Each structure stands twice: as C-alpha cells, then as structure tokens.
Amino acid sequence: MKEVVAQLKTISPVWTAGLDRANNSPREVGLVGSLRWWYEVLVRGLCGYACDPTDADRCSFDDDGYRRGGLEGGLRTVCPACQMFGCGGWSSKFRLLVTDDKGQPKLSLDNKGVTFQLHFLPTKAWLPTEQWLLGQVLILIDHYGALGGRTTLKPPKMPDYGQVQLLKNVPYPKLTRREVETWLAGITKGSENISRRQSTQAPQIPRLGYFFFNTEQWLDTKQMNQVVQADRTGFMAGRRGVSKKIFSSQPAKRFLGYTTDQRMLSSVLKTLEQMGISNVKTGQEVLNAL
Ligand SMILES: [Zn+2]
C-alpha cells in the first residue's frame, strides 16, 4: 500500500510536542493523538464503538483469540479506532511523517501561514472504511476543529493553537455514511467483548452527535462561561485538571463544544440563542451531511 498525503496550512501555530516539550517526543506523536481523538469522536457518532485509550477498559490485542482464530480472533477485542491507531499488542496501521510542502522533514509549525504535509505511511493494509474515516476526520478538523495539543488555552494567556486549513485531503473511497455505519455495527455485533464495553461506556465520552459548532464567530471567556452554565451537572465547566468542554478560536472565528446527551445539548443551544448567537450546527447535522 502506497503512502497517502494530506496538505495543510496553519492558521495559528500548531502545538506538536504533546503535553511536555521537554520530553523530546517526536512532534508526530501529538498530531496522531489529535487525529485519533477526532477519529474516535466520529466512530462513536456513527454508533460504532471506540474505547477511551486513557481508561483502564481500553483495548488490547487478544492473544488467546489469535492462537485460536488467527488475526480475526486477535482483533475481536480491538475497537475500530485501536485497529487503525494501535493498542497493546497491536501496532498502528501507519506511521505519520510531517514535512514541508516540498517533502522536507525540517520545518516548524510555530507560525501561521506554514504549508505542510501529513504523510501517512501504511505499515498494514487499510480497509476502505478506515481510509474514508481518515478523510472525514481531516475535513472535520478543517471545518470545525483543531489539530495538535493545547487547543484549549485561550488568549490572552497563550496564543491560539491548532487552527489549520486543509488544502488537499487524502484520497478516500466514495462510501455512504450508511455503509460505514453497517461496517461499524458489524464489528460490535461480532464481538461479545466490544458489545459489552459499548453498552457500559460512560456518557461523558465525546460523541459527535452531541457536539455543537459555529464557524462564524469566537467566544470570549465570559461568553464561554455563560454557555457552560447552561449545564447544571457541571460537566461542561470542567474542574481543576479537567478542561472545559467548550473551545473557541479567535483567529479562525469559531467555537465548538460537546455535551453528554440531547437534553444538555438542547439547553446549550437555547442559551446560545438567548445570547443572540445563531448559525450553530449540531454534530448530528454534520453526521447527516456525510
Ligand atoms: Zn480501542
């Protein structure tokens, strides 16, 4: 399988060193982390199962299953996100390489207006559905989200991070949302382990259907606080060490956030309306358009 390449341009600096610049982790690690986050959000939005890789209940390759039933048996306990991005006992299906627009790996994403390429170097064969999901993830990041770490720190404390423009997406097959949903449902149905974990997954886990997006304006701290107060449970407000569930970018003029269920989402939408903010799109609307 040949490499697939996406071309992007920074609108604001992209934070690429994960949480700690001193740990010398390669910048690709941070980018893969944020691609994975959106991949998981999308898979869950399409009613598939994606584990929380930071949770004790995360996936690992089933060695016994492998001995009994080969690769298919080993992967029966591995969610679609881990199948693509790797988990204990199973390596990622690709290696990511970041270069400038000429293919040179020496570049900095610390400024705006930098054109760069994400090279996905397959290490295992991809399914058409996986390539489709990756293409959709890059579109989501371009239209609504952000890439890399530190995307929650707001001015004036820190510069705004992670806003990127997708100049050229990876190629992906023309599949319908229904086809991908059917594939995801098949993975859940075909595995008792995944069915069980999906049915007990916490509502706090981000699912695209319960997101909200606006691509015409940004929110200041006061406005963001007003929005999170629409949620009486305190989930959206976060707490020490747990970030707010609303993010806004001044340079890209956008904000997004997520809720745990339809009820919380409705009260957020109502609050935004009362604040005079219109043109808010829900995650479900984004999913319906796929
Ligand atoms: Zn998983």
How far does residue 125's CA lie from ligand 1's centre (Å)? 18
d(CA 167, CA 117) in angstroms, rounded, equals 10
216 and 240 inside one domain: yes
* In the predicted structure, residue 253 carries a pLDDT above the cut 50: yes
User: 212, 268 in Cβ contact below 8 A?
Assistant: yes
Position of tokens 């970041």?
Answer: 98
Is residue 186 domain-shared with residue 121, that is, in the same domain? yes
Taking the CB of residue 253, how many other CB atoms lie within 10 A of it?
14
pLDDT for 159 beyond 80: no
Distance CA 203, CA 256 (A): 18
Three-state DSSP class for 110? coil
Rounded to the nearest whole angstrom, what is the distance from the C-alpha of residue 228 to the centroid of ligand 1? 29
- Summarised one tens digit per residue, pLDDT across range 91-138 is 999 999 999 999 888 788 888 899 999 999 999 999 999 999 999 999
- The helix or strand, by DSSP H or E, that contains position 94, with its residue range, turns out to be strand 94-100
Q: Which tens digits make up the pLDDT trace of 32-91?
A: 988 999 999 999 999 999 999 988 889 999 999 999 999 999 999 999 999 999 999 999
Q: Number of folded domains in the chain?
A: 2
* 184, 254: one domain: no
CB 188 within 8 A of CB 229: no
Q: Are residues 175 and 140 in the same domain?
A: yes
Domain of 89, in residue numbers: 4-199
Distance 252 CA to ligand 1 centre (A): 32
What integer pLDDT is reported at residue 14 of this predicted model? Answer: 83
The domain boundary, picked from 171, 199, 227, lies at: 199
Strand partners, 216: none
Q: How far is the CA of 81 from the centre of ligand 1 (A)?
A: 6
Res 234: pLDDT: 94
Per-residue pLDDT tens over the stretch 4-14: 999 999 988 88
Domain boundary among 161, 182, 199: 199
Distance 51 CA to ligand 1 centre (A): 4
Domain boundary residue among 142, 176, 199? 199
Note whether 97 and 192 are same-domain residues. Answer: yes
CB 144, CB 213: distance < 8 Å: yes
Cα of 79 to ligand 1 centre, how many Å?
4
Place of tokens 């269920």: 261
Secondary structure of 224-284 as H, E, C letters? HHHHHCCCCCCCCCCECCECCCEEEECCCCEEEEECCCHHHHHHHHHHHHHCCCCCCEEHH
